[in-house]
Amino acid sequence: MKEPIEKTDVFQPRIYIDKEGNWYQDGVPILHRWTYLYNNSLLRRDETGRYYVDEGRGKVYVYVEDTPFVVKMTEKRSDGFYLILNDETEEKLDFYNLKMNDKNVPYVTVKNGEFEARFSRPAYYEFTKYLNQEGDRFYIEVRGTRYELKAQK
């Protein structure tokens, strides 16, 4: 059972996105694939950073537990790494936008820098198969360039 959505002084969102990228409306999971994908495509942020769905008739604010997008899979290709997100889109990984939080969970900027995405465990485990170690440093090499994976302390 999901915990109740945290009330704020300003509004009570009817839509909630959990840390795994699952959507809920009024506490009920949104399971219909096309509705889920459509909502993801309409997700925006206002000038204060709050998330909302814009259907053209008005904004429906969304409570996001962590990030609205989740990296579900990583795929190594000849020209780099690709990320498959929970909205079924894929993006080429920009290593300069990759960071680790203080719990060693990787995050990356997606959607032309508009949003952050958290790596799911399976995506992170797949990604770490390509890690190399030199001393106490970890890096991934792509086409002759080394990208260091740094954890925050």
pLDDT at 89: 97
Assess if residue 5 is contained within a domain: no
- Regarding whether 123 and 141 lie in a shared domain, the answer is yes
Name the amino acid, one letter, at 113: G
pLDDT at 23: 96
Q: What is the pLDDT of residues 85-114, one digit of tens each?
A: 999 999 999 999 999 888 888 999 999 999
For residue 116, the enclosing domain spans 69-148
Assess if residue 2 is contained within a domain: no
**pTM for this entry:** 0.84
| 41: enclosing H helix or E strand | helix 33-42
pLDDT at 102: 83
Residue indicated by tokens 């060693």: 104
Secondary structure of residue 100 in the 3-state scheme: strand
- Regarding whether 110 and 142 lie in a shared domain, the answer is yes
- Regarding whether 143 and 119 lie in a shared domain, the answer is yes
- Regarding whether 55 and 31 lie in a shared domain, the answer is yes
- How many independent structural domains does the chain possess? 2
Residues of the chain with pLDDT under 70: 1-12, 151-153
Name the amino acid, one letter, at 146: R
Cα atoms in the 13 Å half-sphere on the side-chain side of 9: 0
Assess if residue 45 is contained within a domain: yes
- Regarding whether 102 and 128 lie in a shared domain, the answer is yes
pLDDT at 2: 45
- Regarding whether 24 and 73 lie in a shared domain, the answer is no
- Regarding whether 137 and 95 lie in a shared domain, the answer is yes
pLDDT at 1: 45
